[in-house]
Amino acid sequence: MKINIRQKLLMFAFIIIAGNVLIGYGVYNTNKKLIESEQLVQHAESVIYKLGYILSLGKDIESASRGYVITNDSSFLNPLFTAEKIVFSNIEQLRQLIHDNTIQIQRVDSIRFYMQKRLDFSLRQIEIRSNQGLTAAIEYASTNYGKISFDHLRRISTDIEKDEALLLNQRKHSNQQIVSAFNWISGIMYFLITVTTVLLFIVTGKNLLQTKKKEIRAGELIIANKELAFQNKEKEDRAKELIIANEELAYQNKEKENRAAELIIANEELVFQNQEKENRAKELIIANEELAYQNKEKENRAAELILANEELVFQNEEKENRAEELIVAYKELIFQNQEKEKRAEELIIADKELAFQNEEKGKRAAELVIVNKELVFQNEEKEKQEAANKELEAFSYSVSHDLRAPLRHIGGFVDLLIKNNSKQLDEKGIRYLKIISESSHEMGNLIDALLTFSRLSRTELLKIRINSKNMVTQVLKSFSEEMAGRDVEIKLSELPDAIGDETLIHQVWENLISNALKYSRNKEKATIAIGSVLMDNKTVFSIRDNGAGFDMKYADKLFGVFQRMHKAAEFEGIGIGLANVNRIIVRHGGKCWAESEVGNGATFFFSLPNEEVVSRSGQP
C-alpha cells in the first residue's frame, strides 16, 4: 500500500507530538521524584536534629543534678525541671518521624527507657543531697548508674544517627541517578526529534520535486494536444478536398453518360470504371465514417484532456495550499523546537542549581555538625568552670568563717597586752604589738570583704524597676561629708530606669562613685560625670572622673579579687569593690569594662539588659 504525502506528514507530526509528550512526562516524573527525594533528605536531617536536641536535654539533666549536688543551690535545678517537661514529648516526636522504620522505633523506645532511668537517678541523687547531705549524694553518684544509662543513650543515638546518615547519602545518590537518567533520556529524545525533522525535510523536498515533474509532464501533454488539434484540422481539410473530388467525379460521370452515345466502347470501359469508382466510393464512405468516428473519439479525448487539465490545475492549487500549510507547520515546528531547546537549557540550569543547592546543604550539614561538637565542648568546659567556681566560692566561704575565730583571739590578746602589760615592753615591742593589731584588723576586713563577695553569688535576685537618677542622687548625698571641703563638680545627665535588684545595684553605684571620689581627691578640682546610652537592646551606664587613672595594659586584672592598680600608701582599700561590682552586673546579664589613661582619669562602664520586671529569680 502506497503512503501519500499527507499520511507521511501526519505520521511525522504524530511522532513529534509523541516525543514532546514523552519529554514532558519525563520532566514531570523526574521533578516529582526529586521533590520526594528532597522531602526524604529533609526528613533525615530533622531526625538527626531532633536526636541531638534530646541528647542536649539529657546533658541538661545530668549537669543540673551535679550542680545542685555540689552547691545545694536550687537554682541549678531549673534546667532539669525544664528538660523533664519536654524531653519525653520530643522523644515521641522523634518516634513519629521514624514510624516507618521498625528497628529505629525500637531504638527510640530504648532511648525513652534509658532517659527515664537517667532522670530517676538524677531525682534520687537530688533527694539524697537534700535529705542526707553531700557525702551520701557523692557515694550514690559513684555507683555510675547514671553514667551507664547515659552511655547507653549515646550509643543508641550514635546508631540512629549512623543509619539516618546512611539513608541521607543513599537518597542523595538516588537524586544524582535520577538526574543523570533524565539527561540521557532527554538527549535521546532530542536526537530522535531532530532525525524526524530531517526526514520531514527530505519527504517535503521529494514531494516538491514530484510536483515539478508533474507540471513538466502537463506542459508536454498540452503541446501534444495542440499537435493533435493541428492533425485533426489537416484531416478536415483533406475531407473537404475529397468532397470536391466527389462532386467533380459526379460531373465527369454526367459528361461520360452524355458521351456514352458517342462512345459505346468507352461505355463499357466507363461501366467498368464506374463499378471501380463505386467500390472506391464505398471504401471512401467507410473511410469517412471511420474518420468521423476518429474525430468523435478525438473530441471525447479532447474533452477528457480538458477535464484532466482542470483537475491538474485543481490539484496544483491544492498542492500549493498544502505547501503553504506545510511551510506554516514547518515554521511552527521550528518555533516549537526552539522553545524546547530553551526549556531544555532552563532544565539543565535548574539541574545544575539543584546540584549546587544539594552541595551547599551538604556543606551546611557538615558545618552544623562541627558547630554542634564545638557547642558541646564549650558547654562541657562551661560546666567544669562553673563547678570549679562553685567549689572555690564554697572554699572561700568556709575559710573565711574558719579564720574569724583565730583573728579575734589575736586581736583580743594583743589589745589586752597593750592595755595591761605596756609598761613591761619597750617602745619597739609596743610598736610591734600595734602592727600586729592593725594587721589583724586589716585581715578581718579582708575576710569580711571575701564573705561579702562569696554571698553575692548565692544571694537571690529580686528584680524591680529602679529609678536610676533618684538612686544616684541618694548615693551622692551619702558622700556629702567626704565631699565637704573639696571642689567637686558633679555632672549628672538624665538616666533611664533599669531592671534589677535594688540593693545590689545601689551597691554598684556606691562602689563606683566612691572610687571616683577617692582617686580624684588629689586634683584641685575634681570632675565626675555620670551618664548613659542605649546600645544593642541594653542600657550602658558610665561614670567618668579626672583622677589618677591607671595603665590599660593591666585592665584585664581590674575586676579581679584583691587586685589593686595603686599602692596602699597612695590610696586605701583592699581591692574587692570592683570585683563585687563585676559579679553583680554579670548576675544581672550585663558586663563591666573601663577606659583610662594614667594621670587623666578613668571611665567605668556597666550594661544592664532592657528586660521586663521579674518578681523573683535565681541566677540568670
Using CA atoms, how far apart are residues 211 and 501, in angstroms rounded to an integer?
105
Q: Measured between alpha carbons, how far is residue 183 from residues 194, 197, 348, 356, 570 in Å?
A: 16, 21, 8, 17, 84
Query: Shortest CA distance to 93 belongs to which of 56, 135, 132, 46?
Result: 46
How would you list the strands of the sheet with 592-596, edge to edge? 488-492, 526-535, 538-545, 602-609, 592-596
Taken in order of first residue, the domains within the chain and their CATH numbers are 34-180+367-388 (1.20.120), 459-620 (3.30.565.10)
Mean pLDDT of 437-457: 66
- Quote the distance between the C-alpha of residue 153 and its chain's center: 31
Query: Shortest CA distance to 457 belongs to which of 605, 302, 587, 356?
Result: 587
Strand, coil or helix: 490: strand
pLDDT value at position 391?
A: 65
DSSP 461: B
Mean pLDDT of 138-143: 81
Task: Flag whether the pTM goes above 0.85.
Answer: no
Q: Measured between alpha carbons, how far is residue 206 from residues 218, 312, 318 in Å?
A: 18, 19, 17
- Per-residue pLDDT band for 563 (boundaries 50, 70, 90) equals low
Show the cell assigned to 290.
471511420
Scan for cell 584583691, then name that residue.
562
Helix axes 145-260, 264-420, angle to 10 degrees: 170
How large a percentage of the chain has pLDDT more than 70?
87
Using CA atoms, how far apart are residues 601 and 592, in angstroms rounded to an integer?
17
With 0-12 CB in 10 A as exposed, 13-18 as middle and 19+ as buried, what is 576?
A: buried
**Cβ-contact 129, 140 below 8 angstroms:** no
pLDDT value at position 620?
A: 31
- Per-residue pLDDT band for 547 (boundaries 50, 70, 90) equals confident
pLDDT at 613 over 70: no
pLDDT at 468 over 70: yes
pLDDT value at position 466?
A: 92
Minimum mean pLDDT range among 195-209, 343-357, 558-572: 558-572
Q: Which of 213-222, 457-466, 560-569 has the highest mean pLDDT?
A: 213-222
How large a percentage of the chain has pLDDT more than 90?
8
pLDDT at 619 over 50: no
Strand, coil or helix: 305: helix
- Per-residue pLDDT band for 567 (boundaries 50, 70, 90) equals low
- Quote the distance between the C-alpha of residue 2 and its chain's center: 61
Mean pLDDT of 68-82: 85
Please give the full DSSP string across 99-140, using - where no structure is assigned. Answer: TT-HHHHHHHHHHHHHHHHHHHHHHHHHHHHHHH-HHHHHHH
pLDDT value at position 385?
A: 61
pLDDT at 562 over 70: no
pLDDT value at position 571?
A: 62
pLDDT value at position 225?
A: 79
- Per-residue pLDDT band for 401 (boundaries 50, 70, 90) equals low
Q: Which of 121-125, 539-543, 614-618 has the highest mean pLDDT?
A: 539-543
- Per-residue pLDDT band for 194 (boundaries 50, 70, 90) equals confident
pLDDT at 390 over 60: yes
Full 3-state SS string of 373-394: HHHHHHHHHHHHHHHHHHHHHH
DSSP 595: E
DSSP 553: G
β-pair partners for 466: 498
